[in-house]
Structure formats: structure tokens, C-alpha cells
Amino acid sequence: MSVVHTVKPSSNGKPGADTLPTLSIDQLTFAYPDGHKALNGISLSITTGEKVALVGPNGAGKSTLMLHLNGILGGNGEISVSGLKVDKANLPMIRAKVGLVFQNPDDQLFSPTVFEDVAFGPLHMGYPEAEVHARVERALAMVGMGAYVHRLSHHLSVGEKKRIAIATVLSMDPEILVLDEPSAGLDPRARRQLIHLLRDLPITMLVSTHDMLMVYELFPRMVVMDEGRIVADGPTEHLMANQSLLETHGLESPFILRPE
């Protein structure tokens, strides 16, 4: 069994400081109706401002974990976001605090125009028209898509759709941005643009990905999952250097040269 590496608190006011965590998960377990245990005692804490990568092989439980963070799935254990417990009574507030972005943007974009997609959340929360327009404008500006406000969502490229999908949750002013495989399906230029976008967004972030080079470039902290458990959690550069750990859990260092 691999050793779990923990991120030690600091006292400098930066990520890891002794403050109320943006995300706290305590002993979360979950089994699907067929009896498959997808999560087995997950405990994780992410402080304000941290950008954390969640990695592991297919079937490790990463997507299942993410679907618990805003109440789409419900297992046993405790989850809280900025001190607010994730439960049925709090779901409307939780879903504003947790900006969940799916791997396929077509699962998130269902309105005719970009404006309507990005405005959906604020409208649903009952904000007045002027506030809705302000939130849409701000969210699109944050992802560099301000000129697309009247475009038809289904006519956009995959990279453009992913940016709009991110804007749909940013319009809710979330406490944490949670993304599932954000670089999947992108060409090299769109992937690079996405990396710059995620680097520049001033928000706490948890990102599930197989893109290990993006993890190395963008995320100071890496959490490794396998078979429903967290098997390692620590500084990305240290875990990336542990070739045995990576191989044991179906991962590859982005720096290994393979013979042709």
C-alpha cells in the first residue's frame, strides 16, 4: 500500500494556512446500486486559493467524488464547502458555491445562445435583470469570451464551448471550481489557452485529469486516487518524481522518453 502524503498547514496566510477550508471531506464512502464500492473512506481538505489536481486511473472514483461535491450523488460521510454542510437542505446554496464543469461541454450548454447559457444560473437564483447582465458580462470577460455573448452555443468549437461552460459556473460566483478532464478533446492551441485561463483564474480549484503535463505546469498539489481511496496527497513535484508510486497507480510521468 502506498503512503499517503499530507499537505502540512502553514501560518503565512497562503494555501495551507490555518483557516476554514473551502472544501472539507471526512470519511466519505459510496457504493453504486450494483454493490460496487466507488469511494472508500475519502478524506480531503482544500484551503482557499489552492489549485489541486486529482489524478488516477480510470475507475479510481474521481468522477464519483466530484459528483458528491454539489449533491448530485450522496454517500456516507461529511462534506462541507466554506463551512456549509452538503445536504439536501443546503443544496441550492451548495450548487452556487461549487462550480462543477463536466468533461463534455455539451452536457452543460443547452440554451440557444451564449448569453442564455451563462445567465441560466443567476436567473434561477432570482437575481434582477441588471445583476444577471452584469454577472454574464463579468463571467465571459474572465474566460476571454466577452465578444461571444450573442453567439449560438452549438456553433462554437470544443475549446470555445469549454470556456463558455466555465463561464456558466463563474456567473454564480462559486467558492471552488471543480473540473472533470478539462483538456480532453482539445487541440494543442486550445489546450494551451485553457492552461493559461486556469492559471489566471483567481479561484480555488479541484481538477480531475489524465493530462499529467498540465498537472505539472499548473497544480502545486496533486492528489492520487485508486480503487476508491486517496493513496497519495502532496506537492506535485515530489509525487511526480516518485516513479514507483506513479506506475503502481496507473500513471506516467510526463517527462519519460519512450523509444520509438
9 occurs within a structural domain: no
63 occurs within a structural domain: yes
pLDDT band, residue 252 (cuts 50/70/90): confident
Can you give the residue range of the structural domain that contains 73? 23-246
User: 238-249 burial string, b = 16+ CB within 10 Å, else e?
Assistant: ebbebeebbeeb
233 occurs within a structural domain: yes
CATH of the domain at 102: 3.40.50.300
How many Å apart are CA 104 and CA 8, to the nearest integer?
A: 35
The H-assigned helical ranges of 125-210 are 129-142, 158-170, 188-200
Q: Dump pLDDT digits (tens) for 45-72.
A: 999 999 999 999 999 999 999 999 999 9
pLDDT at 7 over 80: no
- What is the reported pLDDT for 254? 82
Query: Of 201, 207, 203, nearest to 222 (Cα)?
Result: 207
203 occurs within a structural domain: yes
- What is the reported pLDDT for 19? 66
Predicted model pTM: 0.88
pLDDT band, residue 3 (cuts 50/70/90): very low
162 occurs within a structural domain: yes
122 occurs within a structural domain: yes
How many Å apart are CA 197 and CA 103, to the nearest integer?
A: 16
Mean pLDDT (whole number) for 15-33: 82
pLDDT at 257 over 50: no
Total number of domains constituting the chain: 1
11 occurs within a structural domain: no
